[in-house]
């Protein structure tokens, strides 16, 4: 069957990273709590071990999220060896397997160019599909 150039392929170019400035993009963070309200507001609380302060990420209208340990992110870490991510802790990502498995979350839940938001720690990593960047409060 011939390829249709009009078909949206979110993973055709492989894993790609983008910058996401948060003020804690290279801090060592620990996940403390996550809550999701009925209005799709996702609130994630982390502790910055670097700053010894609480960091609150609040995503309005979160469409999907997942919490993974480091083992669940081997695809991203391998891709980062070839194309380094712009920061250790907070960055945006697209073109990975989760996007392939659930493309509608990105098509209906993000603005082009279909990146999700990643908060990586030594133990638990949070990935959020949201149309807008979250508010980030440190301290």
Confidence (pTM): 0.89
Evaluate the CA torsion angle 90, 100, 110, 15 in order and state its sign: positive
pLDDT in tens, 39-84: 999 999 999 999 999 999 999 989 999 999 866 688 898 999 999 9
Q: Where are the alpha helices (DSSP H) in the chain?
A: 74-82, 97-101, 103-109
Instruction: State the Cα torsion 105-110-115-121 to the nearest 10°.
Output: -80
Domain ranges of the chain: 16-27+63-132
Distance CA 20, CA 109 (A): 18
Distances (CA, A) of 110 to 73, 122, 132: 21, 27, 7
**What pLDDT sits at residue 72?**
67
**What pLDDT sits at residue 118?**
96
Asked whether residue 108 carries a pLDDT value surpassing 60, the answer given is yes
Average pLDDT over the chain reads 89
């Amino acid at each position: 069957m011939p390829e249709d150039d009009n078909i949206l392929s979110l993973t055709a170019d492989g894993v790609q990273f983008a910058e996401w400035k948060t003020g804690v993009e290279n801090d060592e963070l620990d996940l403390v709590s996550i809550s999701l309200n009925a209005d799709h507001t996702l609130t994630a609380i982390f502790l910055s071990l670097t700053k010894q302060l609480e960091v609150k990420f609040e995503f309005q209208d979160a469409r999907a999220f997942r919490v993974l340990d480091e083992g669940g992110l081997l695809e991203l870490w391998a891709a980062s060896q070839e194309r380094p991510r712009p920061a250790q802790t907070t960055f945006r990502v697209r073109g990975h397997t989760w996007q392939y498995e659930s493309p509608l979350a990105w098509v209906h839940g993000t603005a082009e160019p279909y990146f999700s938001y990643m908060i990586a720690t030594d133990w638990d990593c949070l990935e959020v599909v949201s149309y807008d960047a979250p508010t980030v409060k440190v301290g």
